Structure 1
Amino acid sequence: MFIGFGTLANVVTVLVGSSLGLWIGSRFPERTQRTVVDALGLITLLLGALSAADVLSPALREAVGSSAPVLVVLGALLIGGVIGSLLDLEGRLDAFGHWVRRRLVRGADPGAHVVTDPPAGDGSGRPDAAGRFVNGFVSASLLFCVGPLTVLGALTEGLGRGPDQLLVKAVLDGFSAIAFAASLGAGVMASAGMVLVVQGLLTAVGWAVGDILPEPHLMALSAVGGLILVGLGLRILNARKVPVVDLLPALVIAPALVELVAVLR
């Protein structure tokens, strides 16, 4: 298989899953659709918790000390969150999702209100068209692009070690896309473009620079990514509006902090 096959397979499963979800969604009552989204929120919490457990990795503990892994993850989230909020990444991604909708949906209202959380609505309990599209696009893009399989799988394939991890992710994303599109609409299908861009770039990085991150650095990145997924799960469940997009810079800060602590020890 050629390098990039895993990402292309992932894009196809998202498109196929979204198409099935749009077809099935019109046949489900709103209560059933909400239940499906809640189930996805719980699964997202589970995936996030499993990834966050990498903070206990022996390799990470050996690199930074037995008491430092949690502090590294905490520092990455705090520093990354400050950077993301100052750059207003949350608002920028919202605006990008709105821009995508105007380009893809005929008759879209340029001034329509943009909302990033699944329960958004117009006061009647039903989300407006723009908010629903952006909800689907943002939520699905984060779910498909933030997890550790995205980074590890794309880098591994770029290094020439095969697309196995991304093929597993492709299957998971396909089933998730069915459920998301059934409730959140066509915005989920647009997220396939984000999967192509994000995973394609990471694959290219792996191909160009080789194995750039040792295992301790990857474990820290995975733990931070897992906590961001937990935040996304809370948003999907409407439990709390965690600014998950603003936290994304923590994925870069975490490996840097591991390197810094390892050098200073």
Structure 2
Amino acid sequence: MFGTWFNAGMIVLGCLIGGRFKKGLDPGSQEILMQAMGLAASLLGISAVVQHLPESRYPVLFIVSLAAGGLLGEKMNLERRFETAITRYFKSGLGEGLATAILLFCIGSLSILGPIEAALNGNYSYLLTNGMLDGITSIVLASTFGTGIAVSALILVGWQGAIYMLAKFAAGALNPDMLNEITIVGGILIFSSGLSILGIRKFKSMNLLPALLGPPVFWALLHTLEWLGM
């Protein structure tokens, strides 16, 4: 878990630095940073999809996952619950920044593969690299949305910790194809978050988060059918 704690620590450090920048920024500078963050998030999302979609064995799976996950998230009203919880403790407007931060920090190839490599091979290079990248990203996010972005570090610890423990106890169940599909769905969610920041179209990114469960559920059903001999 050393790599995960380093990753989270870099996010907190970046938020502290970015928070100091925010105090001296005029509205015009904050707006241009928002645009820069929106463009960066959009490009990262596109890059993830373009890189991993050609390797997909089930190219329709991400569509089904988004549709089913979106309906589930809308039914649970995750977006409203998330915003209510955030505004209870932080100023309004932070919800969008936190949603973006959680997606950028948690739903990337390095953040998913890093804990697996650490658990199975004792290799922390992915997580250390991811920590440096997230530290820089958190500076920009905090300078735009405020130091409350540091809350995403707690989410990151829970996310990577869960993946780490899963890799430890169920090494044989981790399928590279499944991880590839999760990354595709994650890339689309990051892209939607970027478009929301740019003001091109407001997406309910939090309501779409259950789509990430689509690939694991699909693989579970697939293995169950194979076990039953069907």
Superposition deviation, residue 158 in structure 1: 2.5
Q: What percent identity do the matched residue pairs reach? A: 28
1:51 to 48, 71, 79: 48
Matched residue type, 2:127 = L
Residue of structure 2 equivalent to 1:250: 211
The answer as to 2:64 corresponding to 1:81 is: no
1: CA distance between counterparts of 2:88 and 2:108? 25
Residue aligning to 1:33: 30
Provide the secondary structure at the position in 2 that maps to 1:131: coil
Aligned: 1:212 with 2:173: yes
SS of alignment partner, residue 28 of structure 1: coil
CA shift for structure 1 position 157: 2.0
Count residues in correspondence. Answer: 225
Partner of 1:97: 86
Which deviates further from its counterpart, 139-148 or 71-80? 139-148
Question: What is the correspondence of 1:1-265 to structure 2 with a 5 Å cutoff?
Answer: 4-53=1-50, 54-57=52-55, 60-61=56-57, 68-69=58-59, 71-101=60-90, 130-257=91-218
Matched position secondary structure for 1:248 = helix
Give 3-state SS (helix, strand or coil) of 1:76's partner.
helix
CA distance in 2, matches of 1:226, 1:86: 23
* Deviation (angstroms), 1:259: 6.3
Q: Deviations over 1:113-141 (max 9, x none)?
A: xxxxxxxxxxxxxxxxx213434333322
In structure 1, give the amino acid aligned to 2:27.
E
C-alpha spacing 1:211/1:150, structure 2 compared with 1 (3 Å): farther
SS in 1 for 2:173: coil
Task: Determine if contact 1:21/1:181 at 8 Å carries over to the other structure.
Answer: yes
Question: TM-score scaled by structure 2?
Answer: 0.88
**AA aligned opposite 1:92:** R
Partner of 1:109: none
1:201–1:99 distance in 2 versus 1, CA, 3 Å: farther
CA separation in 2, counterparts of 1:149 and 1:90? 26
Distance 1:38 1:97 in 2: 23
Question: Does structure 2 conserve the Cα–Cα contact (< 8 Å) formed by 1:159 and 1:211?
Answer: no
Q: Which amino acid aligns with 2:137?
A: S
Work out the CA distance in 2 between the residues paired with 1:136 and 1:228: 14
Output the CA distance in 2 between the equivalents of 1:141 and 1:177.
Answer: 11
Structure 2 unaligned blocks of 5 or more:
none
Partner SS, residue 96 of structure 1: helix
Q: Judging changes above 3 Å, is the alpha-carbon distance between structure 1 residues 47 and 215 closer, same or farther for their aligned structure 2 residues?
A: same
**Counterpart amino acid of 1:254?**
P
| Deviating more after overlay: 177-186 vs 254-263 | 254-263
Return the offset for 1:214: 1.6
Structure 1, gaps ≥5 residues long: 62-67, 102-129
The one-letter amino acid of 1:56's match is: P
What's the CA shift for 1:180?
Answer: 1.0
* Cα RMSD for the two superposed structures: 2.2
Q: Distance in 2 between matches of 1:136 and 1:227?
A: 17
Q: Quick one: distance in 1 between partners of 2:154 and 2:96? A: 15
- Give the TM-score, by structure 1 length: 0.77
- Contact 1:133–1:184 (Cα < 8 Å) also in 2: yes
C-alpha displacement at 1:99, in angstroms?
4.0
In the alignment, the residues of structure 2 paired with residue 83 and residue 24 of structure 1 have an alpha-carbon distance, to the nearest angstrom, of: 39
- Secondary structure of 2:92's counterpart equals helix
